[in-house]
Chains A and B, each alone.
Chain A
Amino acid sequence: SQQGEEDPQALSIQEGENATMNCSYKTSINNLQWYRQNSGRGLVHLILIRSNEREKHSGRLRVTLDTSKKSSSLLITASRAADTASYFCATDPIQGAQKLVFGQGTRLTINP
């Protein structure tokens, strides 16, 4: 079963705008990771945030983690057409047999 829920399911914005995606999860985690997937291809790792971290940056990406609310957000600033993809959060649970538990993803479309 999916642990994570992502919000929104789909997001369409203009190039240059910022995009924010949210992820909620259910159990205690070691870390949370964000991945990007283009048109049913393989997943590309974007960023990993540990359970003891609250915020992390990588280029135009900013990730926050609130373990008390069991939620995370991914902010992409100054979006580009090439950012069009599906974005997934994945949690590494402390307990359980699952390696990574993925959310359903957010489909992001950047309009030129």
Chain B
Amino acid sequence: KAGVTQTPRYLIKTRGQQVTLSCSPISGHRSVSWYQQTPGQGLQFLFEYFSETQRNKGNFPGRFSGRQFSNSRSEMNVSTLELGDSALYLCASSNRDQSQETQYFGPGTRLLVL
């Protein structure tokens, strides 16, 4: 099976702009989670989607939003970008039907906000 793919891999934006990141999960996986990784805060959970519904949400401001499509692909959007949003954004998919599921991560999108 193909792994989790994320696009774009690199992105440069300026403060105030918005950005949309895309994640395609492993075929058959219906759960997609998003994480932000920064040197200062480490890996932090953003949100999880399952069957087009947001199931869990981390402690991030409303500028961070996401959605999931019927084919399980997911997008996350960050509006009004701030310098502190510069980070590696990772998405992970899993087979939610399993009670103890492994998260499979994509290569990430590195976002730089200038």
Which A positions have Cβ atoms within 8 angstroms of B?
1-2, 30-31, 33, 35, 40-45, 48, 50, 88, 90, 92, 97-105
Tell me whether A97 and B42 are in contact (CB under 8 A).
no
Tell me whether A97 and B58 are in contact (CB under 8 A).
yes
Tell me whether B48 and A99 are in contact (CB under 8 A).
yes
In the complex, which residues of chain A have a beta carbon less than 8 angstroms from the beta carbon of B110?
40
Specify the chain B residue showing the minimal Cβ separation from A49. B100
Bound-state Cα–Cα, A25 to B85, Å = 27
Tell me whether B90 and A43 are in contact (CB under 8 A).
yes
Specify the chain B residue showing the minimal Cβ separation from A2. B42
In the complex, which residues of chain B have a beta carbon less than 8 angstroms from the beta carbon of A1?
59
Q: How many B residues, CB 8 Å from partner? A: 27
- Chain B 67-88, CB within 8 Å of chain A: the 1/0 string? 0000000000000000000001
Tell which of B56, B106, B107, B108 touches A98, judged by Cβ atoms closer than 8 Å: B56
Judge whether B33 is part of the interface by a CB distance below 8 angstroms: yes
Some 29 contacts from A to B, beta carbons below 8 A apart, are A2-B42, A2-B44, A31-B100, A40-B37, A41-B107, A42-B105, A43-B103, A43-B105, A44-B105, A45-B103, A48-B100, A48-B102, A88-B43, A90-B43, A90-B103, A97-B56, A98-B45, A98-B56, A98-B58, A99-B45, A99-B48, A99-B56, A99-B103, A100-B35, A101-B45, A102-B43, A102-B44, A103-B42, A104-B42
